[in-house]
């Protein structure tokens, strides 16, 4: 049975029990009230008759019974009571609804009345069980000359009570009906919400889904219709720096403020997204977002930090490959020229041309290695120098200071330098076509400055260029270069500044870690020109 059906049945049973209980209480209260009203009525009638001058004057006469019987019957009818009995102080009846009982002894308690008080009791008399009141009748001297008893039979009381039962039942039935309708509407809503599943099935599904949610290797984020983050799995907590809380405690707060700004904007927008790249302080994330049934969004997040790292290394290798290809093409042309000169018998000129070419290539390599004695960075700069030469861009390199082994992570250094030079080459692709790169190392800091002869960057857009999704290159609205630079700089604890002076000037300052010089080389490598 579904949870909605069970809830409906239990609510209906509960409402029925409550209605019956309330009806029973109402019945008892009504019965008590009718008894109290009957008692009050008979007391009032008895007290009134006890002070009636006619009753007082007739009680002591010789034909008291004849005078009072008709009067008692009239009062019985007019006051809506079942009997009015006037008796002598010894209990001899002077009046009775049944004339045959006149002259008999009154059945009931008379002691309180004889002592001058009005007494109320429930007693079984000649008319059956009744609620009765008995009051003394005093003469002018204060003596008791007669007693007056007025009563209502329990049968009459029960008839009055029975007349109220339909109203009590009607109220209970109406309450049950309204409760049943309300329970039915609630159960229908609950049935739609729980898809008609029972509590056992809901528990099993929750267990399965919760286990599946937290075993995923992808980060999973669930946001409501207002864009608030309400649920996420363990992998998402690891990737985005979210607090690890129990699953049942995550719906009470919005944890979006822990997210990177671009991820926070994505959740708030509620838009559909596919394989978008987002950058946190130390990770590169691929996010996809889809609307969820019933409102809200489901967002999946994958970690592509290592992939991007490998991509950066591949890009470095591609740069070197392109440089070697350019050099190979150029050397092939030069060898062809040397070969033709030899065929023409001009061997001296051929030898001079070949030696000049070898010396020029070696000078370029030696110059870069001498300036930047970092293997990875040197290899990158040799390739970039060849690329700049091939693209017709004048690349000026300068360096100063000393750079110890292991003072800075080589991969981050390659990422920073490579992306800054790529952007500078693109910016200087027209006009003067000049790019400057300077590396200055002190005892505790490395400063990298890259400038170009391009048009510079609009100051209002500098911060936007540091965010993912903004690029200065036409046709590339989703550039990653500067965002990757900023990520690497943050990871290394450095700073990145952007200025305009004719063209754009990027200045990166990186703290240097203390490193032990390698064995056999106590001197740190010098980067002086």
Domain contains 310: no
Q: Is the pLDDT of residue 429 over 70?
A: yes
Return the CATH number at 492: 3.30.565.10
**Same-domain check for residues 407 and 299:** no
Both 380 and 522 in a single domain?
yes
Note the pLDDT tens digit of each residue in 134-151: 999 988 778 888 999 999
Q: Is residue 126 part of a domain?
A: yes
Domain match, 147 and 52 both = yes
The residue range of the domain holding 243 is 216-303
**Does any domain span residue 156?**
yes
Q: Is residue 328 part of a domain?
A: no
Residue 338 has a CB neighbour count (10 Å cut-off) of 18
- The answer to whether the beta carbons of residues 87 and 150 sit under 8 Å apart is no
Of 72, 37, 69, which Cα lies nearest the Cα of 152?
Answer: 37
Count: domains in the chain: 3
Tokens of 492: 């290394």
Q: Are residues 31 and 135 in the same domain?
A: yes
Same domain, 425 and 515: yes
Nearest to 454 by CA among 475, 474, 434, 471: 434
Residue 422 confidence class, pLDDT cut points 50, 70, 90: confident
Q: Is residue 488 part of a domain?
A: yes
Last residue of a domain, which of 303, 331, 351? 303
- When comparing pLDDT for 364 and 164, which is higher? 164
Same domain, 119 and 31: yes
User: pLDDT tens digit string along 75-95?
Assistant: 988 888 989 999 998 888 999
Note whether 11 and 147 are same-domain residues: yes
CA angle 123, 127, 131 (to 5 degrees): 35
**Pick from 160, 176, 203: which residue ends a domain?**
160
Q: Looking at the structure, do residues 149 and 261 belong to the same domain, yes or no? A: no
Q: Which helix (H) or strand (E) is 231 found in, with range?
A: strand 229-232
Q: What is the pLDDT of residue 12?
A: 84
- The CA–CA distances, whole Å, from 387 to 86, 323, 369, 391, 439 equal 135, 6, 17, 6, 19
Domain termination site, one of 251, 268, 303: 303
Residues 223, 148 within the same domain: no
* pLDDT (average), residues 307-319: 64
> pLDDT category, 249, cuts 50, 70, 90?
very low
**Is residue 105 pLDDT above 70, yes or no?**
yes
Number of Cβ within a 10 Å radius of residue 314: 11
Let me know: does 97 contact 110? Beta carbons within 8 Å.
no
Question: Are residues 100 and 15 located together in one domain of the fold?
Answer: yes
Average pLDDT on 332-358 reads 76
CATH assignment of the domain containing 68: 3.30.450.20
Residues 27 and 95 in one domain: yes
Residues 496 and 374 in one domain: yes
The pLDDT, as a whole number, for residue 397 is 84
């Amino acid at each position: 049975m579904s949870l909605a059906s069970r809830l409906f049945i239990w609510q209906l049973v509960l409402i029925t029990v409550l209605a019956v209980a309330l009806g029973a209480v109402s019945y008892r209260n009504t019965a008590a009230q009718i008894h109290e009203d009957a008692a009050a009525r008979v007391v009032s009638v008895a007290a009134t008759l006890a002070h009636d001058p006619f009753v007082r004057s007739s009680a002591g006469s010789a034909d008291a019974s004849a005078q009072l019987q008709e009067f008692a019957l009239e009062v019985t009818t007019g006051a809506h009571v079942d009997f009015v009995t006037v008796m002598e102080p010894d209990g001899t009846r002077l009046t009775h609804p049944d004339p045959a009982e006149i002259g008999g002894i009154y059945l009931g308690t008379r002691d309180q009345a004889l002592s001058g008080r009005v007494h109320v009791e429930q007693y079984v008399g000649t008319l059956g069980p009744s609620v009765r009141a008995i009051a003394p009748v005093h003469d002018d001297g204060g003596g008791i000359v007669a007693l007056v008893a007025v009563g209502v039979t329990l049968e009459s009381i029960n008839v009055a009570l029975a007349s109220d039962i339909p109203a009590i039942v009607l109220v209970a039935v109406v309450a049950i009906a309204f409760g049943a309708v309300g329970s039915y509407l609630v159960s229908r809503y609950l049935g739609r919400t729980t898809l008609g599943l029972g509590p056992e099935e809901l528990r099993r599904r929750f267990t399965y889904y919760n286990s599946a949610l937290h075993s995923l290797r992808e980060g999973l984020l669930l946001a409501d219709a207002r864009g608030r983050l309400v649920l996420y799995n363990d992998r998402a907590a690891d990737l985005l720096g979210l607090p690890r809380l129990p699953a049942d405690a995550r719906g009470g707060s919005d944890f979006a403020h822990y997210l990177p700004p671009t991820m926070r904007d994505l959740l708030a927008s509620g838009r559909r997204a596919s394989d978008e790249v987002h950058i946190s302080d130390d990770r590169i994330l691929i996010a996809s977002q889809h609307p969820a049934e019933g409102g809200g969004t489901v967002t999946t997040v994958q970690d592509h930090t290592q992939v991007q790292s490998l991509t950066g290394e591949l890009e470095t290798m591609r740069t070197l490959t392109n440089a070697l290809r350019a050099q190979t093409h150029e050397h092939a042309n030069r060898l062809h020229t040397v070969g033709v000169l030899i065929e023409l018998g001009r061997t001296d000129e051929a030898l001079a041309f070949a030696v000049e070419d070898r010396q020029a290539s070696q000078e370029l390599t030696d110059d870069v290695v001498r300036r930047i004695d970092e293997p990875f960075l040197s290899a990158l700069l040799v390739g970039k120098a060849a690329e700049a030469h091939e693209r017709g861009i004048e690349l000026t390199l300068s360096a100063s200071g000393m750079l110890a082994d292991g003072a800075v992570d080589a991969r981050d250094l390659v990422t920073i330098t490579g992306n800054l030079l790529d952007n500078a080459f693109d910016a200087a692709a027209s006009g003067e076509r000049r790019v400057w790169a300077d590396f200055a190392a002190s005892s505790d800091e490395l400063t990298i400055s890259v400038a170009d002869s391009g048009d510079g960057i609009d100051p209002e857009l500098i911060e936007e260029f540091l965010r993912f999704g903004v690029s200065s290159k036409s046709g590339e609205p989703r550039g990653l270069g500067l965002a990757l630079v900023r990520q690497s700089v943050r990871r290394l604890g450095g700073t990145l500044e952007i200025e305009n002076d004719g063209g754009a000037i990027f200045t990166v300052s990186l703290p240097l870690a203390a490193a032990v010089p390698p064995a056999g080389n106590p001197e740190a490598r010098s980067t002086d020109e």
